[in-house]
């Protein structure tokens, strides 16, 4: 079997995803790169729809958009601002804790190190990689459920979870694709290559995709 053509695949994705909206956190950094906002909005976005993340972020940043200002708010105020984001009370606690650490331990600057970021409560590798890539324009591969699912569906990797997928992609994926792959596959995974019964009949990648694990398609 011929190797999976990742270069052709990425070329197609970069073209066809223009018809859909980019993920909300990516939209936010187009005007100004702000690692703190990337961190906080990504924390809000976990298990939350993009529209809710967008509005919750807008309301919160109207009250405080720096770690110092965030510490002036109560946990209850933050929770009210980001409601109805999923687990909004837990996220409010974690946002306040992250802001405090940034101020007290890092002089008000979000750390640029993935291992340090993942010591923050509520921050996993997905969030940490987004902070590095979108907040600082540093190399990283953000792997969420879409990236994990689709890369395995293509047959490009064979992994059991997103963390394994990230480590495999770090060894296999050409570096020019490290940062854009998340935006492209999140957008594609939300609109066409959905978890159940993907739209293979509409997919320009269908002839390249090995459709691993696909039992029903449209």
Q: Catalytic residue numbers?
A: 126, 144
CB 185 within 8 A of CB 203: no
What sign does the CA torsion over 156, 158, 163, 167 have?
negative
CB 196 within 8 A of CB 216: yes
């Amino acid at each position: 079997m011929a190797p999976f053509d990742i270069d052709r695949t990425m070329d197609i994705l970069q073209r066809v995803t223009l018809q859909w909206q980019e993920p909300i956190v990516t939209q936010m950094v187009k005007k100004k790169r702000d690692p703190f906002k990337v961190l906080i909005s990504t924390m809000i976005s976990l298990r939350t729809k993009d529209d809710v993340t967008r509005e919750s972020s807008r309301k919160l940043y109207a009250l405080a958009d720096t770690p110092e200002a965030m510490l002036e708010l109560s946990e209850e105020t933050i929770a009210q601002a980001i409601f109805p984001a999923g687990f909004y009370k837990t996220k409010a606690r974690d946002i306040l804790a992250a802001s405090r650490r940034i101020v007290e331990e890092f002089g008000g600057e979000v750390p640029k190190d993935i291992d340090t970021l993942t010591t923050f409560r509520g921050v996993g590798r997905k969030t940490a990689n987004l902070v590095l890539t979108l907040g600082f324009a540093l190399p990283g591969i953000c792997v969420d459920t879409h990236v994990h699912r689709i890369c395995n569906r293509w047959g490009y990797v064979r992994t059991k979870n997103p963390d394994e997928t990230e480590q495999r992609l770090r060894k296999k994926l050409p570096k020019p694709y490290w940062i854009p792959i998340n935006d492209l596959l999140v957008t594609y995974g939300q609109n066409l290559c959905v978890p159940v019964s993907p739209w293979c009949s509409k997919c320009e990648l269908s002839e390249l995709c090995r459709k691993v694990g696909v039992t029903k398609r449209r």
